[in-house]
Amino acid sequence: MSIIKSEDGKKWINSFIAIVSILAGFVTIRFMETMGEFFDLEAKVKYFLMISQGIGILVGLTTFVAILKNKNASTHMNEVYAELVKVVWPDKDSVVKVTIGIIIGVSIVSSIFVGVDFTFRKILELIY
């Protein structure tokens, strides 16, 4: 059972590009703010916060347009989406069973490590 439909490809690809662009703009804004604090640019440059946010928005928009216009990026994302549509997702019951099995297995292994650690700690206390 596939959750993703092949006809929704363009919508999901554009959403992914928008998220990447927002992240690029956010990172740029945070970088500008950090540089502003480091070099005390808030006091030296009038409207520094507006300028840094404007640059961040500009970087985000530029990233969005650049990725959309790049043929290699578009082709790659279409291929990735086409492969993602082929994925067969497990049902809820099998996910729950495997998760419980993993939790039990990790608990057993961690209890073994705790036991070995406790044993070696007691042995070292007797020696020293």
- The model carries a pTM of 0.68
| Structural domain that includes position 109 | 90-128
What Cα–Cα distance (Å) separates residue 50 from each residue in 17, 40, 43, 57? 25, 15, 13, 10
Whether 81 and 99 map to the same domain: the answer is no
Whether 74 and 106 map to the same domain: the answer is no
Whether 46 and 96 map to the same domain: the answer is no
Can you tell me which residue has the tokens 């216009």?
69
- Quick one: pLDDT at residue 3? 66
Whether 46 and 65 map to the same domain: the answer is yes
Whether 48 and 84 map to the same domain: the answer is yes
Residues of the chain scoring pLDDT < 70: 1-3
For residue 63, give the nearest of 93, 21, 28 by alpha carbon.
21
Whether 39 and 54 map to the same domain: the answer is yes
Q: How far does CA 84 lie from the centroid of its chain?
A: 18
Query: How many separate domains does the chain show?
Result: 2
66 secondary structure, DSSP code: H
Contact assessment for residue 5 and residue 84, using Cβ atoms and an 8 Å cutoff? no
